[in-house]
Amino acid sequence: MTIEFIWQLPTGGDGRYGEAARARRGERDALSGSPYSDGVSDPRGRRFNYYDYLHQVARAAELSGFDGVRISHDLQGEEAWIVAGYVARGTRRIKLVAEFEAAWGSAVYAAKNAASFQRFTGGRLAWQIAPGGAAEERRRHADYAEDADVLPRIDEFLTVARGVLTTAPFNFKGRFFEVGEGGFRGTLANNPVPRVYLSGATEEALALSARQADVHVLDAAPPDVLREQAARLAALAAAAGRQVAIGLRVSVLARETEAEARRDAAIHQRQIGGTGSGSAAASGADAVLVGSFEQVTDGLAEYAAAGVSSFLLSAVPHLEEAYRFGENVLPALRERLAVQRGATQAAHAA
């Protein structure tokens, strides 16, 4: 089982522990002064903007050994597809997981965009389809679908997108999409279908992933809970003649010692006015794994032993923490997982 590590790009702004405030690092406006202290100047001035910063984070992830970046969907942030196209040019090998909602356009047009993207990047695009927020939030963005229709619409969206990418002519008539004699030919034909990431803990969400997902992303929970969810998903996928990998979304805060990690987590949590998992809230995840480099390595290895093969990780600030995690946790974790995999294979051979 191949295990991948994906780092998040903060499309809605980032922060840093020095001030622990959510900000748009790299942006310059007429009212903001230099981000540096007196006597230090920035020759880039207003030419350096937030897209440049996102490029830095993507490059940090690639240089630090991550397998990909997750370009998060934020209703008030930068558009994930645009960011994906921008950072693709400045990276060479990492996967680009663009998160978006199925409500935001035609499945055929999304597939055409994907075909061009795959051609120009060597097949590095992946999709994470977000279900969207509550009905009130969706209506603010011109989406008036009923709650019960959100997952069925994603189902049809993926059926149509996969169909026109792989079949010509392609015909489909559903509740939300209809295609007659569609499908791509010429240079747009036969390009890799983006790897699909879906999420959700309900029975309906698991059933959808069993039919359509390559990776089903779960929020952090005790390993035993994840094992139960993974077993349920595996049974549903097997009934559909498929296999679906298990992903885990979690924030990380790793330091030299546990005391240092706990101190930084408390400072960050206090300064943003949060409680409980406030450190995670700043990066969008539902939970944060806090501890020494060794403890975080142990925790992620335990999740891998529970069946997780795709780790979607984040930390604030995303630039510095990509290097910190990539240098101090990722190599040891990969070595640990290789040993675990070898032991499992030996046990099966015996």
- Cα distance between residue 49 and residue 43, in whole Å: 13
pLDDT at res. 277: 45
Q: How confident is the model at residue 109 (pLDDT cuts 50, 70, 90)?
A: very high
Average pLDDT over residues 152-170: 97
CATH class for domain 4-30+44-101+200-349? alpha beta
pLDDT at res. 283: 64
Q: Please name which of 143, 155, 144, 146 lies closest in space to residue 204, comparing C-alpha atoms.
A: 155
- Cα distance between residue 47 and residue 49, in whole Å: 6
Question: Could you tell me the CA-to-CA distances from 328 to 68, 253, 295, 324, 334 in Å, in that order?
Answer: 18, 12, 12, 6, 11
pLDDT score of 18 more than 60: no
pLDDT score of 278 more than 50: no
Q: How confident is the model at residue 103 (pLDDT cuts 50, 70, 90)?
A: confident
Average pLDDT over residues 68-74: 95
Exposure string over 170-186, b if 16+ CB within 10 A, otherwise e: bebeeebbebeebbbee
172-184 tens-digit pLDDT: 999 999 999 999 9
- Cα distance between residue 194 and residue 214, in whole Å: 9
- Cα distance between residue 305 and residue 300, in whole Å: 9
pLDDT score of 297 more than 70: yes
- Give the percent of the chain with pLDDT over 90: 69
- Cα distance between residue 269 and residue 265, in whole Å: 6
pLDDT at res. 137: 81
User: Can you give the residue ranges of every domain in the chain?
Assistant: 4-30+44-101+200-349
233-271 tens-digit pLDDT: 999 999 999 999 999 999 999 999 999 999 998 887 765
The phi, psi pair for 290, rounded to 5°, reads -115, 135
Q: How confident is the model at residue 15 (pLDDT cuts 50, 70, 90)?
A: confident
In this predicted structure, which of 26-40, 197-211, 285-299 has the lowest mean pLDDT? 26-40
Higher-confidence residue: 202 or 47?
202
- Cα distance between residue 33 and residue 23, in whole Å: 14
pLDDT score of 343 more than 60: yes
**Are 319 and 14 in contact, with CB atoms under 8 Å apart?**
yes
pLDDT score of 187 more than 50: yes
Q: What is the DSSP string of 310-336?
A: EEEEE-SSHHHHHHHHHHHTHHHHHHH
pLDDT score of 218 more than 80: yes
- Give the percent of the chain with pLDDT over 70: 87
Please give the single-letter amino acid code of residue 77.
Answer: G
37-52 tens-digit pLDDT: 666 666 666 677 889 9
